[in-house]
Structure 1
Amino acid sequence: MDAQTPSFFSAEPLLERRLGRGPFDAVPSVPGVYRFYDRNGNLLYVGKAKNLRTRLFSYKRAKPGQVSRKVSELIGQIRSFVYVETPTEKDALLLENRMIRGERPPYNHANKETETYYFVYLRPDNEGLEFRLAMRIHKETDPKYWHGCYKGHAPVRQALGCLLRLLWMAEYEITDPMHLPVKLNRNLTPMRFALPWNTSASPALTTGLPDLLELWIRGEDDELTDWLAVQIEAGRHLPPFQRLWLEYHLDQITGFYRKKLSRHHTLRNGRNRIAQDELDDLLVKA
Structure 2
Amino acid sequence: MLPEVVQEKLRALPAESGVYLFKDQKSEVVYVGKAKSLRSRVRSYFQSGGSDSRLFIPHLLETIGDLDTIVTANEKEATILENTLIKELRPRYNVKLRDDKEYLSLRLNVNHAWPRLDVVRRPSADGARYFGPYHSATAARRTLHLINKHFQLRTCSDLELTSRRRPCLQYQIKRCPAPCVYEVDPAWYKDQTRAVAMFIEGRHDELTRELHDRMHRSAQEMRFELAAVYRDQLRAIEQVRASQRVVVADDEVEKDVIGLYREGDLVEVVILHVRGGRLGDVGTYAIKHAEIPEEEIVAAFIAQHYGREQRVRGEEREEDEEGAGEEVREEILVPREIVVPCLPEGHAGIAEWLAERAGHKVAIVHPKRGARVDLLTMANDNARHSFLEKRRVSDSVDERLAQLQERLRLPTLPRRIECCDISHLGGGDTVGAVVAMTDGVLDKKRYRTFHVRGTGSAERGAGELHAGDDYAAMYEVLARRFRRGVAAASPYPNPLPEGEGAETPLSRDVSAPSPEGGGSGWGSATEESDPWELPDLFVVDGGRGQLGVALAAARDLGLHQLPIVGLAKEKENVMGETLVDRVYLPGQKNPIPLKTHSASLFFLARLRDEAHRFSNRGREKRGKARRFHSALDDVRGIGPTTKKALLKALGSAIGVQRADDATLLAIPGVNKRHVAALRKAFPAAAPAPIALDASGTSDTAPAETAPDEATT
TM-score (norm 2): 0.25
Structure 1 residue 136 displacement after superposition? 3.6
Partner in structure 2 of residue 28 of structure 1 = 14
Q: Secondary structure at the match of 1:79?
A: strand
The answer to whether the 8 Å contact 1:44/1:106 transfers is: yes
**Residue 199 (str. 1) matches residue 189 (str. 2):** no
Instruction: Please give the secondary structure, in 2, of the residue aligned with 1:67.
Output: coil
Deviation at 1:77, TM superposition (A): 2.3
Measure how far apart 1:114 and its partner are.
Answer: 6.1
Partner of 2:130: 148
Q: Secondary structure at the match of 2:69?
A: strand
Percent of aligned pairs sharing the same letter: 21
Q: Distance in 2 between matches of 1:198 and 1:126?
A: 18
Residues 131 and 331 in structure 2, CA contact (< 8 A), matched pair in contact too: no
Q: Which runs of 5+ in 1 are unaligned?
A: 1-16, 173-195, 265-272
Give the one of 61, 69, 75 matched to 2:61: 75
The correspondence for 1:276, drawn from 306, 320, 329, is 329
Match of 1:212 in 2: 195
Label 1:64 to 1:91 Cα distance change in 2 as closer, same or farther (>3 A): closer
Q: Does 1:247 align with 2:247?
A: no
Confirm or deny that 1:103 pairs with 2:86. Answer: no
Aligned letter for 2:124?
I
Q: Evaluate the alpha carbon distance shift between residue 85 and residue 253 of structure 1 in structure 2; reply closer, same or farther with a 3 A threshold.
A: closer
* Alpha-carbon distance in structure 2 between the residues aligned to 1:253 and 1:166: 20
Q: Which residue of 1 aligns with 2:488?
A: none
2:28 and 2:82 map into 1 onto residues whose CA distance is 17
Match of 2:235 in 1: 231
Which residue of structure 2 aligns with residue 55 of structure 1? Answer: 41
Tell me which moved more, 203-212 or 29-38. Answer: 203-212
Partner of residue 6, structure 1: none
Query: Deviation at 1:99?
Result: 1.8
The answer for the alignment partner of 1:166 in structure 2 is 146
Measured in 2, the distance between the counterparts of 1:158 and 1:62 equals 51
**After alignment, is 122-131 or 95-104 more displaced?**
122-131
**Is contact 1:37–1:45 with CA below 8 Å preserved after alignment?**
yes
- Kindly indicate whether the alpha-carbon contact (under 8 Å) linking 1:32 and 1:50 is maintained by their aligned counterparts in 2: yes
Q: Cα distance 1:134–1:233, how it changes in 2: closer, same or farther (>3 A)?
A: closer
Worse-matched range after superposition: 52-61 or 75-84: 75-84
Counterpart of 1:189 in structure 2 is: none
Q: CA deviation at 1:75?
A: 3.4
AA partner of residue 103 (structure 1): L
Change (3 A) 1:216 1:164: same
Higher relative contact order (CA 8 A, sep 6+): 1
Checking the alignment, whether the CA contact within 8 Å between 1:163 and 1:253 is kept in structure 2 is: no
The answer to whether the 8 Å contact 2:115/2:193 transfers is no
Amino acid at match of 2:196: L
Say which one has the larger Rg: 2
In the alignment, what sits opposite 2:620? none
Check the 8 A contact 2:108/2:116 in 1, yes or no: yes
Cα distance, 1:149–1:108 mapped onto 2, change above 3 Å: farther
- The answer to whether the 8 Å contact 1:33/1:46 transfers is yes
Hey, what does 1:134 align to over in structure 2?
121
Contact 2:123 2:130 survives alignment (8 Å): no
Label 1:71 to 1:230 Cα distance change in 2 as closer, same or farther (>3 A): farther
Does the 8 A contact of 1:33 with 1:48 survive in 2?
yes
Coordinate RMSD, CA, aligned: 5.0
Distance in 1 of aligned mates of 2:12 and 2:26: 24
State the distance in 2 between where 1:243 and 1:231 align.
10
Question: Does structure 1 retain, via aligned residues, the 8 Å contact 2:17–2:72?
Answer: yes
**Cα distance between partner residues in 2 of 1:278 and 1:203:** 27
Instruction: Count matched residues.
Output: 218
Query: Is the Cα contact below 8 Å between 2:76 and 2:353 reproduced in 1?
Result: no
State the Cα distance separating 1:39 from its structure 2 match: 1.1
Conserved? CA contact 2:31–2:91, under 8 Å: yes
For residues 278 and 126 of structure 1, what CA distance do their matches in structure 2 show?
21
SS of the residue corresponding to residue 106 of structure 1 reads coil
Partner of 1:9: none
Supply the distance in 2 between the matched residues of 1:214 and 1:22 (Cα, whole angstroms): 56
Query: What does the per-residue CA deviation read over 1:180-219, in whole Å, with 9 as the maximum and x for residues that have no partner?
Result: xxxxxxxxxxxxxxxx7463444999995433014455x5
Give the Cα–Cα distance (whole angstroms) in 1 for the partners of residues 237 and 202 of structure 2: 25
**Do the aligned partners of residues 102 and 108 (structure 1) sit closer, same or farther apart at CA in structure 2, a change above 3 Å counting?**
same
How many Å separate the matches in 2 of 1:158 and 1:126? 29
Long gaps (5+) in structure 2:
153-168, 179-187, 212-231, 246-271, 282-301, 308-325, 333-349, 358-712
Q: CA deviation at 1:49?
A: 0.7
Distance 1:202 1:31 in 2: 56
Query: 2:101 is matched with which residue: 91, 115, 127?
Result: 115
Could you tell me how far apart the structure 2 residues matched to 1:44 and 1:57 are? 17
Corresponding residue number in structure 1 for 2:698 = none
Structure number having the greater helix percentage: 1
8 Å Cα contact 1:101/1:112 also seen in 2: no
Separation in 2 of the partners of 1:285 and 1:72? 38
In 2 relative to 1, CA 118–167 (structure 1 residues): closer, same or farther, beyond 3 Å?
Answer: closer
Q: Which residue type is aligned with residue 60 of structure 1?
A: F
Whole-angstrom CA distance in 1 between matches of 2:193 and 2:274: 16
* TM-score (norm: length of structure 1): 0.54
What is the distance in 2 between the residues matched to 1:100 and 1:85? 17
1:147 is displaced (CA, Å) by 1.7
User: What is the CA–CA distance in structure 1 between the aligned matches of 2:331 and 2:144, rounded to whole Å?
Assistant: 28
Matched residue SS, 2:172: coil
127 and 18 in structure 1: CA distance in 2 versus 1, 3 angstrom threshold: closer
Offset of residue 71 of structure 1: 3.6
Distance 2:47 2:21 in 1: 17
